[in-house]
Amino acid sequence: MKIKINGEIKELEKALSLSQILELFSLPAQRVAVELNRRVVRKQDWSTTIVEDDDRIEVVHFVGGG
């Protein structure tokens, strides 16, 4: 199955939870936020939220800005 994460298309061999996805792509779990198909997924729901084909995920953190 294919997902789009932070704008990049990635191939997954099997369905994974958001927690597993973060781990797979070496994404930090602290002070980040995750959006699945334009909706924020609370941290406590990451492990039970299973990603499906064509899902769009955004994982954001903070950078310098004005």
Partner 1 sequence: MTDTLQLAGKSFDSRLIIGTGKYRSFEEMKAAHTASGAEMVTVAVNRVPLDRKTESFLDHLDPAMQILPNTAGCYDAEHAIRTARLAREALETDWVKLEVIGDQTTLLPDNEQTLEAARVLIKEGFIVLPYFTDDLIMAKKLIEAGCPAVMPLAAPIGSGMGVQNPSNLRIMREQLPDATIIVDAGVGVPSDAAVAMELGADAILMNTAIAEAGNPGQMATAMKLAVEAGRLAYLSGRMPKRLYASASSPIQGAIK
One of 1, 12, 16, 59 touching partner 1 (CB under 8 A): 59
Q: Which amino acid is at 6?
A: N
- Residue 65 CB, shortest distance to partner 1, in Å, is 3
Among 7, 11, 13, 44, binds partner 1 (CB under 8 A): 7
Q: Confirm if 64 and 12 have CB atoms less than 8 A apart.
A: no
Residue 20 CB, nearest approach to partner 1 (Å): 14
* CB-based contact 24:4 (threshold 8 Å): no
The two three-digit tokens of residue 18, written as one number: 């958001």
Is 13 a binding residue for partner 1 by CB under 8 A? The answer is: no
